[in-house]
Chains A and B, each alone.
Chain A
Amino acid sequence: MNLYELTAHALTDKLHSGQISAETLYHSLNQRIKDNDGPVHAYVLFQEEFPGIQDSAPKKFRGLPVAVKDNICVKGMETTCCSRILKGFKPPYDATVIGKLRSQGMVVQGHTNMDEFAFGSSTENSCYGPTHNPWDLTRVPGGSSGGSAAAVAAHEAIWAIGSDTGGSIRQPAAFCGVVGLKPTYGRVSRYGLIAFASSLDQIGPITKDVQDAACLLGILAGHDPMDSTSGDLPVPDYASALGKDIKGLKIGVPKEYFIDGLAPEVRAAVEEAINLLKGMGATIVDISLPHTEYCVATYYIIATAEASSNLARYDGVRYGLRRTPPQPRKSAIVDMFEETRDQGFGEETKRRIMLGTFSLSSGYYDAFYLRGQKVRTLIKNDFDRAFEEVDAIVMPTSPTTAFKIGEKTNDPLAMYLSDIYTIFANLSGVPAISLPCGFSKEGLPIGLQVCAKAFDEEMMLRIAYQYEQKAGWYKETLKPRTKL
Chain B
Amino acid sequence: MTSATQQSYETVIGLEVHLQFNTESKIFCGCANQFGHPPNTNTCPVCLGLPGTLPVLNKTALDYAIKVALALHCQINSHIKFDRKNYYYPDLPKGYQISQYDYPIGHNGYVEILSGDHLQKIRVHRAHLEEDAGKLIHDAKNKVSLVDYNRTGTPLMEIVTEPDIRSAQEAYDYLTALKLLLQYLNVSDCDMEKGSLRCDANVSVRPLGETRLGTKSEIKNLNSFRAVKAALDYEANRHRTLLSAGQPLVQETRLWDEHEEVTQSMRSKEQAHDYRYFPEPDLVPFTVSDKNIELIRESLPEEPLKKFERLQAAYDLAAYDAGILIQNPELADFFEACAKQLSPGKKICNWINGPLLQELNTQKKTAAGIPVSPEQFTDLIRKVEEGAVSHLVGKDILKKMIQTGQTAQAIIEHDGLTQVSDNAALEAYVNQVITENSTAAQEIQNGKMQALGFLIGQTMKLTQGKANPKIVGDLIKRRLLHG
Question: Which of B46-54, B197-205, B222-230, B472-480 has 4 or more CB atoms under 8 Å from chain A?
Answer: B46-54
How many angstroms between the C-alpha atoms of A422 and B276 in the bound complex? 28
How far does the Cβ of B53 sit from chain A's closest Cβ, in whole Å? 7
CB-based contact A93/B96 at 8 Å? no
How far does the Cβ of B268 sit from chain A's closest Cβ, in whole Å? 8
Residues of B within 8 A of A190 (CB): 54
Cβ-based interface call for A199 (8 A): yes
Cβ-based interface call for A95 (8 A): yes
Residues of A within 8 A of B283 (CB): 228
Residues of B within 8 A of A73 (CB): 50-52
CB-based contact A226/B54 at 8 Å? yes
In chain B, positions 22-58 with a C-beta closer than 8 Å to chain A are 45, 48-57
Q: Mark A363-375, 1 if CB is under 8 A from B, else 0.
A: 0010001000000
Question: Which of A6-14, A286-294, A313-321, A391-399 has 4 or more CB atoms under 8 Å from chain B?
Answer: A313-321
Residues of A within 8 A of B52 (CB): 71-73, 91, 95, 191-195
With A309-B84, A312-B86, A312-B96 given, is the CB distance from A89 to B278 under 8 Å? no
How far does the Cβ of B88 sit from chain A's closest Cβ, in whole Å? 6
How many angstroms between the C-alpha atoms of A434 and B281 in the bound complex? 27
Q: Which residue from chain B places its CB closest to the CB of A186 in the assembled complex? A: B284
Cβ-based interface call for B207 (8 A): no
CB-based contact B51/A309 at 8 Å? no
Cβ-based interface call for A285 (8 A): no
Q: Which residue from chain A places its CB closest to the CB of B50 in the assembled complex? A: A91
Q: How many residues of chain B get a CB closer than 8 Å to chain A's CBs?
A: 31
CB-based contact A228/B93 at 8 Å? no
Cβ-based interface call for A467 (8 A): no
With A309-B95, A312-B88 given, is the CB distance from A191 to B278 under 8 Å? no
Q: Mark B216-255, 1 if CB is under 8 A from A, else 0.
A: 0000000000000000000000000000000000000000
Q: Which residue from chain B places its CB closest to the CB of A230 in the assembled complex? A: B54
Cβ-based interface call for B367 (8 A): no
How many angstroms between the C-alpha atoms of A318 and B84 in the bound complex? 20
Cβ-based interface call for A225 (8 A): yes
Residues of B within 8 A of A198 (CB): 281-282
Cβ-based interface call for B415 (8 A): no
Residues of A within 8 A of B86 (CB): 308-309, 312, 360
Total residue contacts A-B, CB cutoff 8 A? 105
How far does the Cβ of B61 sit from chain A's closest Cβ, in whole Å? 14
Residues of A within 8 A of B95 (CB): 309, 311-315
CB-based contact B274/A361 at 8 Å? yes
Q: In the complex, which of the residues A95, A229, A361 contacts B276, with contact meaning CB atoms closer than 8 Å? A: A361
With A309-B84, A361-B274, A361-B276 given, is the CB distance from A194 to B51 under 8 Å? yes
How many angstroms between the C-alpha atoms of A187 and B258 in the bound complex? 55
In chain B, positions 283-305 with a C-beta closer than 8 Å to chain A are 283-284
Q: Which residue from chain A places its CB closest to the CB of B44 in the assembled complex? A: A93
Residues of B within 8 A of A365 (CB): 276, 278
CB-based contact A330/B93 at 8 Å? no
Residues of A within 8 A of B269 (CB): 330-331, 334
CB-based contact A313/B49 at 8 Å? yes
Cβ-based interface call for B457 (8 A): no
How many angstroms between the C-alpha atoms of A369 and B86 in the bound complex? 15
Cβ-based interface call for B175 (8 A): no
Residues of B within 8 A of A318 (CB): 48-49, 93, 147
How many angstroms between the C-alpha atoms of A195 and B49 in the bound complex? 12
CB-based contact B90/A333 at 8 Å? yes
How far does the Cβ of B203 sit from chain A's closest Cβ, in whole Å? 25
Cβ-based interface call for B94 (8 A): yes
Cβ-based interface call for A305 (8 A): yes
How far does the Cβ of A403 sit from chain B's closest Cβ, in whole Å? 30
In chain A, positions 298-340 with a C-beta closer than 8 Å to chain B are 305-306, 308-309, 311-315, 317-319, 330-334, 337
Residues of B within 8 A of A92 (CB): 45, 50
CB-based contact A229/B282 at 8 Å? yes
Q: In the complex, which of the residues B45, B49, B94 contacts A91, with contact meaning CB atoms closer than 8 Å? A: B45
With A86-B51, A313-B93, A317-B147 given, is the CB distance from A360 to B276 under 8 Å? yes
With A89-B51, A226-B54, A360-B86 given, is the CB distance from A369 to B96 under 8 Å? no
Cβ-based interface call for A410 (8 A): no
Q: Mark A77-92, 1 if CB is under 8 A from B, else 0.
A: 0010100001001011
Residues of A within 8 A of B281 (CB): 197-199, 229, 306
CB-based contact B88/A315 at 8 Å? yes
In chain B, positions 55-76 with a C-beta closer than 8 Å to chain A are 55-57
Residues of B within 8 A of A384 (CB): none
Cβ-based interface call for A227 (8 A): yes
- The residue among B53, B145, B284 with the most chain A CB atoms within 10 A of its own CB is B53
CB-based contact B54/A305 at 8 Å? no
Cβ-based interface call for A362 (8 A): yes
How many angstroms between the C-alpha atoms of A473 and B282 in the bound complex? 40
How far does the Cβ of B284 sit from chain A's closest Cβ, in whole Å? 5
How far does the Cβ of A121 sit from chain B's closest Cβ, in whole Å? 22
How far does the Cβ of A76 sit from chain B's closest Cβ, in whole Å? 13
How far does the Cβ of A422 sit from chain B's closest Cβ, in whole Å? 20
Q: In the complex, which of the residues A228, A331, A333 contacts B55, with contact meaning CB atoms closer than 8 Å? A: A228
Q: Mark B81-93, 1 if CB is under 8 A from A, else 0.
A: 0001010101001
CB-based contact B278/A305 at 8 Å? yes
Q: Which residue from chain A places its CB closest to the CB of B143 in the assembled complex? A: A332
CB-based contact A228/B282 at 8 Å? yes
Cβ-based interface call for A428 (8 A): no
In chain A, positions 208-265 with a C-beta closer than 8 Å to chain B are 225-229
How many angstroms between the C-alpha atoms of A303 and B145 in the bound complex? 34
How far does the Cβ of A79 sit from chain B's closest Cβ, in whole Å? 8
How far does the Cβ of A50 sit from chain B's closest Cβ, in whole Å? 26
Residues of A within 8 A of B90 (CB): 315, 317, 333
How many angstroms between the C-alpha atoms of A313 and B90 in the bound complex? 10
Cβ-based interface call for A357 (8 A): yes
Residues of B within 8 A of A226 (CB): 54, 56
How many angstroms between the C-alpha atoms of A11 and B417 in the bound complex? 92
CB-based contact A313/B94 at 8 Å? yes
How far does the Cβ of B410 sit from chain A's closest Cβ, in whole Å? 55
Q: Mark B257-270, 1 if CB is under 8 A from A, else 0.
A: 00000000000010
With A228-B282, A228-B283, A360-B278 given, is the CB distance from A191 to B54 under 8 Å? yes
How far does the Cβ of A197 sit from chain B's closest Cβ, in whole Å? 8
Residues of B within 8 A of A312 (CB): 86, 88, 94-96
How many angstroms between the C-alpha atoms of A193 and B282 in the bound complex? 12
CB-based contact B96/A309 at 8 Å? yes
Residues of B within 8 A of A308 (CB): 86, 276
- The residue among B56, B143, B284 with the most chain A CB atoms within 10 A of its own CB is B56
How far does the Cβ of B219 sit from chain A's closest Cβ, in whole Å? 22
How many angstroms between the C-alpha atoms of A308 and B278 in the bound complex? 11
How many angstroms between the C-alpha atoms of A174 and B453 in the bound complex? 104
- The residue among A95, A197, A228 with the most chain B CB atoms within 10 A of its own CB is A228
Residues of B within 8 A of A330 (CB): 269
How many angstroms between the C-alpha atoms of A318 and B45 in the bound complex? 12
CB-based contact B45/A93 at 8 Å? yes
Q: Which residue from chain B places its CB closest to the CB of A197 in the assembled complex? A: B281
Residues of B within 8 A of A319 (CB): 50
Residues of A within 8 A of B276 (CB): 308-309, 357, 360-362, 365
Name 13 extra pairs, CB < 8 A, besides A229-B284, A309-B95, A313-B95.
Answer: A72-B52, A79-B51, A81-B51, A93-B50, A191-B53, A226-B56, A227-B56, A228-B282, A229-B54, A312-B86, A315-B90, A318-B147, A360-B86
Question: What are the 8 A-B residue pairs with the smallest beta carbon separation, nearest first?
Answer: A312-B95, A198-B281, A360-B276, A199-B281, A194-B51, A192-B52, A73-B52, A194-B52
Sample (6) of A-B pairs whose CB atoms are under 8 Å apart: A92-B45, A195-B51, A312-B94, A315-B88, A361-B276, A365-B278
List the interface of chain A (C-beta within 8 A of B). 71-73, 79, 81, 86, 89, 91-93, 95, 190-195, 197-199, 225-229, 305-306, 308-309, 311-315, 317-319, 330-334, 337, 357, 360-362, 365, 369
List the interface of chain B (C-beta within 8 A of A). 45, 48-57, 84, 86, 88, 90, 93-96, 143, 145, 147, 269, 274, 276-278, 281-284
